[in-house]
Structure 1
């Protein structure tokens, strides 16, 4: 369901609901920043939760039905004027984001509680991305045909009915996840406070390096997903390619994801990340120089998506490792708060990408459902290709220079399994004193 929101909600607001792109961008910025605070609070809630179902699972049950309902309401066009629709869009989008936080933060925070084995985490992360990409592919490919079929030419009705279909499916699978997943690792039951969380965070430089990269990696991702429809509808002038490339961008990552466990056995996680990013960047380069050549654009999209799938899979595997470093270093488990802060940073990246896209479209003279000016076309291509490429280059430089946790992770994991922490292990081993974290 979130794939439909990521790919089509901004387009729905500007071209179906008729909201100005500038205000849509600002609305995304404010709503996502406010919701980001909820992410952090949700992390604290998870770290202080103790039930017979575990820490994370209960929230899948609590949030499943309300989340499905808000997915539908977000794609409803009320019979209001522009101001009324802006207010309605802001309220429903903010509520939708809150409910996504309630189900997604626990879902993402669950990995450290499922297994302590690094290779198993990579496998689980790969399976998660694999199945997530499969679902995303179905949504990406099916959304526009469903909108057309269910709406019978009326996009307002089409998007609403399509959201109903996907909302029901999302609710069903959240409930299935609650029922079938088991949290096996119980690291600590000590009460989590902001003060204790801060002690752990300030002594966790690998997480800081990882956190900075969230802005870069997810910023690139959200620029592309937000601009995809505009790029193919207006810059390329071939709206039929929108569904095709959206499908490629969600199906081909499945193939990339399948290679990650094999790559992770032969190289360190950061090297997998760098290889994947290089492939992703090569695909962007092909699309940048392709102009409006359909075959070249499709080939570039395939290469781009292959690398994106690999990078996302190893990213989620890497995300769990700073949690273990924090436990090893301070004795404080912050799986929930770290995941929630990571989610907050991702939403800041999402907010920034959405706001900048909206502002650039408005400033360049974008007019919905009309032929676009040269400036507007350049702004669209910049949001879809130039800016994401620049962000990925910086991301590769950052991770390549500073991320070093995977050099020491196996020893950290062995220490934790033996009940050893930083206070009584080798005093020379201290990532805080290392230039590269």
Structure 2
């Protein structure tokens, strides 16, 4: 290997690690939100589950519109650092600060506490949008090679799983130790640590990525954007799956601590299950570059959905027999890891299809619309989860829950995610872009050279 080849390989790996590390930073906060925010609001802040249900719906829908605004502005951003990278840099500190604020418990009335929760969660969501939407919109600009995009997406999922595993394995232990038994204090200190680390990692990402593919700076009208979206069949299918993917994930992740605490009477095991759920996908993720050579991304998405659903069935069959339950958690995690890798590997492909068909590139807007759909899906899912707890008669911190509450928790952890997997399988049976993409990319490359 000559010097030029060594430098190229070094540059590739530097970018893969730099890009992937951004999701490590995101998940230090995002995973805490997914696993513990509902618990934090109901059992630490002592807010009513019904009020939390409404709050999740309102704040997430509002946040979805912020996604659209950020994506729209990314497409109109032109700096020497590119379109997306400046947003990652600018959002790093606000993301860390708002994470601490959202997991703090002020000494005020319950009404004031609810208002505080609304404000801080909205601020955290806006800060999350500032760093997360650019992570998606930047991918088409990093490389035009579909295989390298899969490698970059694999790196992102790998670091995402590492970040999620850190949260799953250590958060509750750190909360207990650093808070001295006071969960309110413990959560605030833990989020301060995670926020600082995440902020530094975002800066690392900024300095180790480069937007190599020049995107057209032509201003695009709203009408042209809508036309591009409506006539982009691969994106329409991908967009539908965003709802099933994130909706199912949010409900299941939020139910882990409830399911193991109350249905299995083993709260400590919730950390074990959460760690498995985030660590096992690392193994799957490392296999993705090899698996992608054997079959299409669409097929791998379907296989992942089958495995995820099958694992949850095993959890149900296992009942209170812990070894079988954990086996099911492992199988489900393998499937989820494969689905997650494919979700991010597929995401930039409809951007290329849209540019090929319409002649315009709207990667920022498209990423923002994806974010908006995901936020709405998560809003509905989070609201449904909280509403199910409220309607079932769930009582925070009660040593024993009613049968209806246990059934609701079981539905959240097992049956709703299974239904989401079925919808993913059905959706991707109609997805056929993988085979067309090489020809599309060759034609796009020729157009870019002409311009």
TM-score range, shorter chain: over 0.9
1:81 Cα deviation from its structure 2 partner: 1.6
Query: How far is the alpha carbon of 1:192 from its aligned partner?
Result: 3.1
Aligned equivalents of 1:116, 1:204: Cα separation in 2: 19
Contact map agreement 1:328 1:420 (CA 8 A) in 2? no
Q: Once the 2 structures are TM-superposed, how far is the Cα of residue 276 of structure 1 from its aligned partner?
A: 1.1
State yes or no: 1:385 paired with 2:414: yes
Give the structure 2 partner of residue 361 of structure 1.
Answer: 389
The yes-or-no answer on 1:398 pairing with 2:430 is no
Structure 1 gaps, min length 5: 422-437
Q: 2: CA distance between counterparts of 1:356 and 1:415?
A: 45
Aligned to 1:12: 40
CA deviation digits over 1:126-161, x for unaligned, max 9? Answer: 011001111110111110010011011111111111
Q: Paired residue for 2:50?
A: 22
1:429 matched residue in structure 2: none
The alpha-carbon deviation at position 420 of structure 1 amounts to 8.6
Matching residue of 2:403:
374
| Superposition deviation, residue 228 in structure 1 | 1.0
CA displacement at 1:25 relative to structure 2? 1.3
* TM-score, normalization by structure 1: 0.95
Contact 1:48 1:192 in 2 (8 A): no
Give me the whole-angstrom Cα distance separating, in 2, the residues matched to 1:363 and 1:144: 27
Q: Deviations over 1:102-139 (max 9, x none)?
A: 11100121110100000000011001100111111011
2:83 maps to 1:55: yes
Partner of 1:44: 72
Partners of 1:6 and 1:398 lie apart in 2 by 25
**TM-score normalised over the length of structure 2:** 0.92
Q: Of the candidates 234, 245, 251, which is equivalent to residue 217 of structure 1?
A: 245
Q: Which runs of 5+ in 2 are unaligned?
A: 1-28
Aligned match of 1:410 in 425, 428, 438?
438
Query: What is residue 129 of structure 1 aligned with on the other side?
Result: 157
Structure 1's 420 and 88: CA in aligned 2 closer, same or farther, altered over 3 A?
A: closer
How big is each residue's C-alpha offset from its partner over 1:258-317, in whole Å with a ceiling of 9 and x where there is no partner? 111111111111001111111111111101111121111111111101111111111111
Rounded Cα–Cα distance in structure 2 between residues aligned with 1:337 and 1:136: 27
Q: How many residue pairs were aligned?
A: 420
Which residue of the other structure, out of 103, 120, 127, is the alignment partner of 2:131?
103
In structure 2, how many angstroms separate the alpha carbons of the residues matched to 1:420 and 1:67?
36
CA distance, structure 2, for counterparts of residue 166 and residue 394 of structure 1: 34
Q: Using the alignment, how far apart are the partners of 1:183 and 1:35 within structure 2?
A: 27
Counterpart in the other structure of 1:138: 166
- Does 1:297 pair with 2:362? no
Corresponding residue SS for 1:191? coil
Deviations 1:26-82 (A, max 9, x none): 101100000000101111111111100000010111111111000000111011121
Secondary structure of the corresponding residue to residue 328 of structure 1:
helix
SS at match of 1:376: helix
1:18-417 → structure 2 map (5 Å cutoff): 18-370=46-398, 371-400=400-429, 402-417=430-445
Separation in structure 1 between the aligned mates of residue 92 and residue 220 of structure 2, nearest angstrom: 26
**Once the 2 structures are TM-superposed, how far is the Cα of residue 232 of structure 1 from its aligned partner?**
0.8
Q: How far apart are residue 199 of structure 1 and its match?
A: 2.3
Contact 1:44 1:193 in 2 (8 A): no
1:297-353 CA distance string (max 9 Å, x none): 111111101111111111111110000001000111010111111111111111111
Deviation at 1:190, TM superposition (A): 0.7
CA RMSD of aligned residues (A): 1.2
Which residue of structure 1 aligns with residue 4 of structure 2?
none
Aligned equivalents of 1:192, 1:250: Cα separation in 2: 40
